[in-house]
Structure 1
């Protein structure tokens, strides 16, 4: 009788395990975590009946961590058929920037009668004062680790900028990217779509073909000496049959970019905008920019460049808010509709980008001028922002792949990435739309003609200012040319959801095949 009672007392406690891996720490692989948790369970008489796994997910927030969201949902709605949750350590639960957020999710479990155990920690999570203090410190340390890592990465990038190395992005018209080795010796020029494959290699900017250099100087002289406007210069370039570095016709905006970028006088400038720890993207003040003057050979003289900047600033100063709106009203008298193209084509009107900067959007400027479009064209403004973000995002993908040791080529016409000569990928940015009921939706059109092996879907947040997450969609699993995504899309699609592109970059890593004895 006594032995039977002992067996009843030793009945295993049903438990679930939560494991998370981010590629920044391969020693925290889900398999390693599982080994520690299984050992902990065996010693403490737990029976693991369910596993929640987030692979390739950042711990900065709960967004994108589908398994943790599912765990919390199961706990809250009573679907959890276990009494404990086993986690490797506090940092695997999350590197939340607010330690209270980590505590909140644990509290939800505790309130439902389910305890959380940190298997690799040196303290018992028993709710006592000692464990509470240690756990609070650990949570703060987990968040601080991400902040320190972000700072170290940023400092490393700044150091490379100050040494004169180019950090991503196309070279631009009249310039080319030159690959150099760790000793500073030139190796070869990189064509558009080509990127370095060795971590020790660096990239600098050098002068492009003589014909392009002459064109750049001619543009500056037409603007500074002849007093021509950007639109006039663009029309002349197009009439001459000259295209931009992307092979496209010139317009007012592309001429303005050529006239204002400091790389044409050899300066290396970085940190104009920043997006750290998944916070809001911000435009930094010039005093916070990181720069290296005279890093490259100049294409135009400093005198010509700074004279152009003075002219541009003087023109910008000439218009008050009321005067800018008056220009729109005068333009509206000549045309029944307004558009960015019409504004940019008008000689005596500020550029459409000036209106966006001054009033937040063209739509708001239209309303102040008394113009109400027949339909809501706000999506045009959003799409314009997404087009401006695209080069930075695709450049980030290429840089990540290069850091992982992959070779990458980019098709000039389609922007398709060929990785290691084995598989292809393309990127699509999807703006967030809100239904009348307040639900969020994202639409994606899959390019069947290009047919990439993997489509990187970038979902924007409600403000369409920042990236919220990524979907890595294999072409074989996409059955329709158009997908409509909701906030939650079920296991079939959300399996491909990731909080960052770390996992995608890790797919390109080469590993040696072990030779059998």
Structure 2
């Protein structure tokens, strides 16, 4: 099931299947489920994949598979795909029965025709739903509402209720909690707006490059909206984003029906002009865009590839991050637009990546964060009167001489289906009493939340977290470490008495 808001919740399906089994004298000995998963592709469907793998390997103690209805195999765009998985069961001598269908799956002509029709209907349902969702999202964009993402330096997210009344500014990491509420962008603090305009003036009037602007801002101690140093790519993104002149842009990229990621032509972008209050004049923005456009158009394919080759020789590898940080190169997006993809541009300069080098930069950043988070944790415990002993070799913290804590930072990864996952490896060697899992956000820039996992309750050394994990794991989830600090607090004896 893909969402909780439907009759296909796993609980409802399980109840219906159990009633069916009881009526026919079946004993359910194993359940395969894919909670919160899209049925458009087999990728990410761990339950279905395991079922087929067990059946094909002959590692089954059952003779019948009970399925809620025909569409539960998946809403594949190729109707033959769901038929294939049913056939894989039958080929291994295992029958398939549908618990909520009005026909018996007995191999008759009627059941075959009905199943084929229902498989096609399941795929068509997804296509129609995709079109409706796209139309709805496009409408919200045209009305000036934000469809996710950080607001950016100089801007803030304003929460609006169903009647259009402003409810307040959303802080970093906060999200709306009511489905009918909307989010729009409003100007941020005056000092940030002044910096944004100064960046445009540096670029347009003073002729400074993105690298020079970033160096100037860092020298002045100005931080980005993510509280980090400025880089040329961050400056370039700011100079080219139309939200600073009040335009709401959406559908630059799409991933419809889980088929493939597509960089859409600008003519297909959904655009709402003047949706937000502008903080940069249109003339200044257009002047900056003209400079960026002329700079990229002036370079021939040969010149772009020659610059890419020089960067490869300098760094030994290429990635989108390396390209964006190179002051002499166009953006990675320019290479994608010119050559169709970064991989094709790589191949033209003789580079074949054997891994995604973005992870190198992300891991480097997370390693740098680890000591900062340990320092902040120690400071938080000491602030509430607790005592911390730190093992400098293992970074295990002993709190008040009573329990030990390990801190793990977990990178956010995106699956091929577009979902976000976090892989946790617990410290089974030293066995701390508790592991603080710092789960990073989608951009791996800031912590998303924290899990306080007691070793006693963890039965596996590795965990794979989704965005929502059910009560068994999310009961340990917290937005910050204040709960942990309360555990470490020391109370005066008179107060206890």
Could you state the TM-score of these two structures normalised by the residue count of structure 2? Answer: 0.70
- Decide whether the 8 Å contact of 2:410 with 2:437 is kept in 1: no
Alpha-carbon distance in structure 2 between the residues aligned to 1:224 and 1:34: 63
8 A contact 1:150–1:277 mirrored in 2: yes
Q: CA deviation at 1:195?
A: 2.3
Cα distance in 2 between the residues matched to 1:505 and 1:183: 34
Per the alignment, residue 191 of structure 1 pairs with 171
Residues 193-232 of structure 1: pairs in structure 2 closer than 5 A: 193-232=173-212
Give CA-to-partner distance per residue, 1:280-319, whole Å, 9 cap, x none: 2221111121121100111111111112111111110111
Who is 1:429 aligned against?
A: 412
Q: Which residue among 92, 113, 134 is the counterpart of 1:133?
A: 113
CA contact (8 A) 1:179 1:201 kept: yes
Deviates further, 273-282 or 63-72: 63-72
Give the distance between the partners of 1:200 and 1:443, measured in 2 at CA.
33
Q: Distance in 1 between matches of 2:118 and 2:308?
A: 57
Q: Would the aligned equivalents of 1:64 and 1:497 in 2 still touch at CA under 8 Å?
A: no
Tell me the CA shift for residue 93 of structure 1: 2.9
SS at match of 1:51: coil
Aligned to 1:250: 230
Unaligned stretches of 5+ in structure 2?
367-372, 377-406, 416-421, 443-449, 476-497
Q: How large is the Cα RMSD of the aligned pairs?
A: 4.4
Match of 1:266 in 2: 246
**CA displacement 1:228-283 (0-9 Å, x = unmatched):** 22122222222222221112222211111111000001001111112233322221
Determine the structure 2 residue equivalent to 1:404: none
Pick aligned residue for 2:259 from 254, 279, 295: 279
Mark the runs of 5 or more structure 1 residues left unpaired by the alignment: 1-20, 391-410, 415-423, 433-441, 459-471, 481-490, 510-517
Q: Does 1:47 align with 2:30?
A: no
Alignment of 1:80-479 (within 5 A): 80-327=60-307, 349-350=329-330, 354=334, 358=338, 360-361=341-342, 368=349, 379=355, 381-383=357-359, 428-430=411-413, 452=436, 455=439, 475-476=453-454
State the TM-score, normalizing by the size of structure 1.
Answer: 0.67
Q: Please give the per-residue CA displacement for 1:18-71, whole angstroms capped at 9, x wherever unaligned.
A: xxx44345433444334433443454x442242323151423333343333333
CA distance in 2, matches of 1:153, 1:426: 35
Query: 2:282, 2:121 → 1: CA distance?
Result: 48
2:35 is aligned with 1:56: yes
Q: Distance in 2 between matches of 1:331 and 1:97?
A: 42
Tell which has more relative contact order, 1 or 2 (C-alpha 8 A, sep 6+).
1
Count of aligned residue pairs for this structure pair = 415
* Residue of structure 1 in register with 2:389 after alignment: none
What displacement does 1:321 show?
Answer: 2.1
Change (3 A) 1:454 1:166: same
